[in-house]
Structure 1
Amino acid sequence: MSGSGEKRTIHIALPSTGEAELEAVREPILSGWLTQGPKVAEFEKRFAARHEIERALAVTSCTTGLHLILAAMGIGPGDEVIVPAFTWVATANVVLYCGATPVLADVDRATFNLDVASVAARVTDRTKAVIAVHLFGRCMDMDALRAALPAHVAIVEDAACAAGAHWNGRPAGSMGIAGAFSFHPRKSVTTGEGGMVTTNDADLGARMDMMRNHGASISEEQRHNGPRPYLLPDFDILGFNYRMTDLQGAVGLVQFDKLDGFIDERAVRAQQYNEAFADINWLTCPTEPDGGRHGWQAYVLYVDPDGAPMARNAMMEKLQERGIATRPGTHAVHMLGLYRDRLGVQADDFPAARDCNDNSMAIPLHNRMNDDDFAYVIDAVRDLARGV
């Protein structure tokens, strides 16, 4: 173990990239095809196959992917979309982008995902969709959520953290009307910025394909490779510029080959953490869902404020002093100024989200850590339990 000795610097997350990714961008750079093209198309095809989905469309980020889904669904002013009160702010922001109303629901402290009863209590005749976030890589209980909703209320999956995860054998991104994934550097696989939307709805997929490219009737690749590349496409709907570049697609293909290996390694390390912290009764550790697979984008603990020897923030400060980066799991949307003022809500209106905001703590879990790094983190957390 490495509880003593020199101080280390251990990042909360680091992308696992190298020569293979560097080499992958040579082809698009040398070919001159840099924007959305053949590499993106191949990345989409492989992502769809891995997640058992009919259509995958690469976009600039998970945020733009979620916006694209809602816009393509026709969600707008007068409509309501239920979102978790504990999630990254983008989940709620995309509802505002559409002119619709975000309706917050509380979460489950144990899983950090939506509390189904809280969702059911907030459904009205204006509810058009629920955005189910698979937070930190653990899939929402999609069966319980679907059973609690009227048939006309669609489920959109915010699978930003959940590439490669599944619930009862069904991959993330395949269980709702559509899903959105992130390839930000803190995710298990990365293209820098970037994202992917998925759907089994052919009409929705076709509409999203057009809308991510300004509303064009055909893509740039189709036009340039077609018989009349000199003619511009038609534009019948309002769209956006949400296209992924072929540089990112090339990197994504290399990273995607590593996805399952990355998750397998993180699962082993998460289990090591769980075993090491099992006797610390004021820490709740994340677990694999029964019958499912955690994506392990992050390893997020819950610190019980009633039993812990110090507040969560004090723990984070002590770990930072030892070179160990930590973060709150994420934030409670209703405690952010924009939503507190816009929705007229108070911290106590969503008590579980409030508690997760104040007491969740992510510790390092990524594929560039070695045995000594994990041992060092474990010793440091156990020192907290000893009041050191």
Structure 2
Amino acid sequence: MQITSPAFDEQEILMVKQCLDSGWVTQGPMTRQFEELFQQRHQVKYALATTSCTAALHLAAMALQLQPGDEVIVPAFTWVTSAHCAEYAGAKVVFADIEIDTFNIDPVALEAAITPKTKAVVVVHLFGLAARMQEILAIAQKYNIAIIEDAACAVGTTYNSQPVGGLGDIGCFSFHPRKVITTGEGGMVTTNNAELANRLKVLRNHGASPNPDIEATKPYYMGRFDHLGFNLRFSDIQAAIGLAQMAKLNQLLSDRISCAKQYNVLLEDIADIVTPSIPPMCGHTYQSYVIRILEGGNNRRNAIMEALAEEGIQTRPGTHAVHRLGYYQNKYNLKAEQYTNAVNAEDLSITLPIFPGMTDSEQQLVVNSLKAGLRKHSAM
């Protein structure tokens, strides 16, 4: 059993055929339609599709004009590109530990990491769970720092009934196949700030901006290139798939939440694991369902994962303790024990299979196999 599975049907095929039949396959009308749907769903003023969430994060760092000497705070437990985006701009990453029960950045640790050089914080809504935005927004306002919401896992997630991605300065989403909706690869960058939206648009398209000296309808019209930009544009082929996926979004979210609730019931009698914790106001869309082993350490966790693999059940750790990865450990001389919650989260977490259409019998198989693995490899 795979850890997840994208939900495709004839609608994706029909939309891709419509795109191919139109003859327009690069970024164009379908991309704009996809952006508008995403913009409406997430209640933001601007949404721009791009090649990946990594690209969205890169664009966010550049649009905020981060530069060498600036510091950007990043949770120590996240996918590596949450940190990479600051490094792309030449800024310094400063890690902050997470809350072990939510896997999201700890607001207390965030505030403790702020220095006069801090210009931004990357707030990750990890696994689809909204971070504690009320506290984080207050801290950001107090110290005048920008918020990049890494919502790679959080399409459709809300905080206090408001969609994430428009709560901070810039939001970044992923359409990787493990995410709630997928376009194969792809991402979206969102904002409510017109100036930032314009910078993002220019940076996404080679640095091109409108040329006011020539009418855009003229056959010899060429844009202006006053900025160094990138080719991080979406394609209408991807957008065609995205449009079909957006039509399913409510059902996809409902299926994931139902699966998560069923897991909660099936796992509630297991004393030595912790299931996902949801603080007040924080929505969860369960891009991943991640449990944590309480006893036996990393060796026991690994043995349990191997036992599940022997039953044909795919799992994986939640994600990285990024400060332990070679690039950051070596560049900043970091030690594992500096961020103990992040270390425990990586070493003790297990991501269980969850996907739309998952059956009760499939979930029961996962739980039975997990329980057997826990018994076989009991904590000493």
TM-score range, shorter chain: over 0.9
Match of 1:95 in 2: 86
Question: What is the CA distance between 1:287 and its match in structure 2?
Answer: 3.7
Match of 1:195 in 2: 187
Match for residue 128 of structure 1 among 104, 109, 119: 119
User: Any idea what the Cα deviations from partners look like across 1:221-276, whole Å, max 9, x if unmatched?
Assistant: xxxx9512432211111111110000001110110111121111111111111111
Match for residue 217 of structure 2 among 227, 231, 239: 227
AA aligned to 2:172 is A
Match of 1:249 in 2: 239
Match of 1:178 in 2: 170
Question: What is the CA distance between 1:279 and its match in structure 2?
Answer: 1.4
User: Any idea what the Cα deviations from partners look like across 1:49-89, whole Å, max 9, x if unmatched?
Assistant: 11110000000000110110110111011110000110000
Alpha-carbon distance change, 18 to 218 in structure 1, aligned in 2, over 3 angstroms: farther
Alpha-carbon distance change, 303 to 54 in structure 1, aligned in 2, over 3 angstroms: same
Which structure 2 residue ranges, 5 or more long, are not aligned?
A: none
State the SS of the aligned residue for 1:187: coil
AA aligned to 2:363 is F
AA aligned to 1:369 is M
Match of 1:274 in 2: 264
So what's the TM-score if we normalise by structure 1?
Answer: 0.93
Match for residue 372 of structure 2 among 357, 373, 383: 383
Q: Where do 1:287-326 residues align within 5 Å?
A: 287-306=277-296, 311-326=300-315
AA aligned to 2:127 is F
Over the residues paired in the alignment, what is the CA RMSD in angstroms? 1.7
CA distance in 2, matches of 1:226, 1:364: 51
Match of 1:7 in 2: none
Match of 1:222 in 2: none
State the SS of the aligned residue for 1:157: strand
Match of 2:230 in 1: 240
CA distance in 2, matches of 1:289, 1:264: 20
Match of 1:154 in 2: 146
Contact 1:14 1:368 in 2 (8 A): no
CA distance in 1, matches of 2:68, 2:170: 21
User: Any idea what the Cα deviations from partners look like across 1:318-345, whole Å, max 9, x if unmatched?
Assistant: 0000000000000100111111101100
Which structure 1 residue ranges, 5 or more long, are not aligned?
A: 1-9, 220-224
Match of 1:69 in 2: 60
Match for residue 284 of structure 1 among 270, 274, 293: 274
Contact 1:309 1:387 in 2 (8 A): no
AA aligned to 1:53 is V
State the SS of the aligned residue for 1:374: helix
Aligned length: 373
State the SS of the aligned residue for 1:25: helix
Contact 2:73 2:118 in 1 (8 A): yes
Question: What is the CA distance between 1:27 and its match in structure 2?
Answer: 1.9
Match of 2:207 in 1: 215
Question: What is the CA distance between 1:310 and its match in structure 2?
Answer: 6.7
Between the two proteins, what is the percent identity of the paired residues?
A: 45
State the SS of the aligned residue for 1:104: strand
So what's the TM-score if we normalise by structure 2?
Answer: 0.95
Contact 2:53 2:152 in 1 (8 A): yes
Question: What is the CA distance between 1:148 and its match in structure 2?
Answer: 2.7
User: Any idea what the Cα deviations from partners look like across 1:116-167, whole Å, max 9, x if unmatched?
Assistant: 1111111011100000000000010011112233341111100000000001
Match for residue 102 of structure 2 among 111, 123, 138: 111
CA distance in 2, matches of 1:16, 1:214: 33
CA distance in 2, matches of 1:339, 1:373: 39
